Amino acid sequence: MTTQLWRSLLYLPASNARAIEKARTLDCDVAVLDLEDAVAPEMKAEARAAAVEAVHSGGFGPRLGVRINGLDTEWGAKDLKALSETNVGLIVAPKVESAEAVRELNAALPASAALIAMIETPAALMRLESIAGVGGALAGLMLGVNDLAATLGTGPAADREPLKPWLAATVAAAKMHGLIALDGVFNRIEDGDGLAAECAQGRLYGFDGKSLIHPSQIAAANAAFAPSPAEVEQAEAIVAAFADPTADGKGAIRVGGAMVERLHLASAERLLARHRMATGG
């Protein structure tokens, strides 16, 4: 899963037929049909059936996933049972709080599906390393910032000051185990500048992409979590410098007035691989 792009993961309500149809045409990296927050209790069964039908029908440009209801609700197990008969590629599980919960999900997932575990509660924060280390189908961690802020009781802050330790901790736990790290949603749909700033913050902290709630947010996320032209130029210079015969046997060399080591070479090669995926090159 880590060889794929995760810049933009867009939630769409599975109860909305127009949203499902629109998802087939969007340029997000992952489209996720939502059975949880976006669906009222009386619509859960209808939304579940619609999600199953959408997976069977296919035709999606983005990779397609489904966010199920929590296994501690009356709908979660039914969601997994219905999806077990499909070839859905991704399951997003809300409010994962323990390694045991990940193992329970692993045992019930469709054989085709990878798992993204949402980190949304203080209990999950205290068990990040054990959650991330379960393995199996677990492909990534997603920080659920709305629920997390509510359960922590934090106040609003434009730069997410109260959540900064948990942004960093989530990325560290994910990267320790080779998982994808996905940033939480940005609620103010009309605030383009705020979205761009939060995407840049997420990229700075090491997230691989951002979860989104509206198609208008896709372009900002795709731009923020793709290598910039300056980054590509620098990475190409590092790769070229280490490829020069004069660099043979050297652990560190000078590139553009700075000393770079072979760990920078590995980072440069990963960045260029993401750039090729993003541009189709």
Question: Cβ distance 91 to 112 under 8 Å?
Answer: no
From the list 11, 13, 23, the residue with the least C-alpha distance to 58 is 23
**pLDDT value of residue 97:** 98
Domain spanning 8-224: which CATH class is it, in words? alpha beta
Q: Are 28 and 218 in contact (CB under 8 A)?
A: yes
The whole-number mean pLDDT for each consecutive block of 10 residues of the chain, a chain of 281 residues, reads 83 95 94 95 97 94 94 96 94 98 96 96 98 98 96 91 97 98 97 97 98 98 93 92 91 91 91 86 70
Sign of CA dihedral 29, 20, 59, 32: positive
Closest CA to 268 of 237, 225, 235: 235
pLDDT at 83: 96
Domain with CATH 3.20.20.60 in the chain: 8-224
Look up the pTM and report it.
Answer: 0.91
pLDDT at 278: 85
pLDDT of residue 265: 93
Q: Which residues are annotated as a binding site for Mg(2+)?
A: 120, 147
The answer to whether the beta carbons of residues 84 and 63 sit under 8 Å apart is no
Please enumerate, by residue number, every residue annotated as part of a binding site.
67, 120, 147
Which positions ≥6 away from 273 have C-beta within 8 Å?
3
Point out the annotated binding site for substrate: 67, 120
Residues in contact with 58: Cβ distance below 8 Å, sequence separation at least 6, in sequence order: none
